A and B are shown apart, each in its own frame.
Chain A
Amino acid sequence: EPEVTQTPSHQVTQMGQEVILRCVPISNHLYFYWYRQILGQKVEFLVSFYNNEISEKSEIFDDQFSVERPDGSNFTLKIRSTKLEDSAMYFCASSDLGGRMSEQYFGPGTRLTVT
């Protein structure tokens, strides 16, 4: 069964460093998402992406964050200068349809630890 994959599974970085989290969505999907879950808190929406541009972003997704689909298979989340509070599990998701029919498939997550 097709699945969303994410690498790395765990990333440790120092405060102020740049990190890139990578995702390979399901191959025929057209809509891509990033969510995060700080330990003990809710899963929170960061951004959605379609047709090579951001469709929607949350307040969390400030200028320190960016997303890119550098080729036909990868979808990346970059954090330019990490802060301690960026430590969280980051989930990538994809869907083949948008709007009301959107059924999002999630990857296993990347645990980001900022020290």
Chain B
Amino acid sequence: AQSVTQPDIHITVSEGASLELRCNYSYGATPYLFWYVQSPGQGLQLLLKYFSGDTLVQGIKGFEAEFKRSQSSFNLRKPSVHWSDAAEYFCAVGRNNAGNMLTFGGGTRLMVKP
């Protein structure tokens, strides 16, 4: 069965500092990986996705993520955090089958200090 672990429940960074959110997955085949962001009272917005090819993927809002098969990781990064990035971030793995089920990690809540 597939699973996703986000080891950090909360992270606080200063505005302008760099950010890395960790994600580890368990999946028997080639994973399809996603990062979503959820602002308070909002739905889940897709930041970026990895299906195949270049292991460094660029997303919206200046985010990027790197797929490392050897470490079963798909960490999310941003070089300079803005106060508006404060939100909850979810990593997810998808299955390549008719159901397209996404399995989510527990989420990391990001707080940004001024």
- Beta-carbon contacts of A40-63 to B below 8 Å, as 1s and 0s? 011111001010000110100000
Shortest Cβ gap from B30 to chain A (Å):
8
Shortest Cβ gap from A61 to chain B (Å):
11
A43–B51 alpha-carbon span in the complex (Å): 21
For the A-B complex, the count of residue pairs with Cβ-Cβ distances under 8 Å equals 68
Residues in B lying within 8 Å of A, measured CB to CB: 32, 34, 36, 41-46, 49, 51, 90, 92, 94, 96-107
Q: How many residues of A contact B (CB 8 A)?
A: 29
Q: Within 8 Å CB of A25, what residues of B?
A: none
Residues in A lying within 8 Å of B, measured CB to CB: 4, 31, 33, 35, 41-45, 48, 50, 55-56, 58, 91, 93, 95, 98-109
Question: Could you name 24 residue pairs across A and B whose Cβ atoms are closer than 8 Å?
Answer: A31-B100, A33-B100, A42-B104, A42-B105, A42-B106, A43-B92, A43-B102, A43-B107, A44-B104, A48-B100, A56-B98, A91-B44, A99-B96, A99-B97, A99-B100, A100-B32, A100-B51, A100-B94, A101-B51, A103-B34, A103-B46, A105-B46, A108-B42, A109-B43
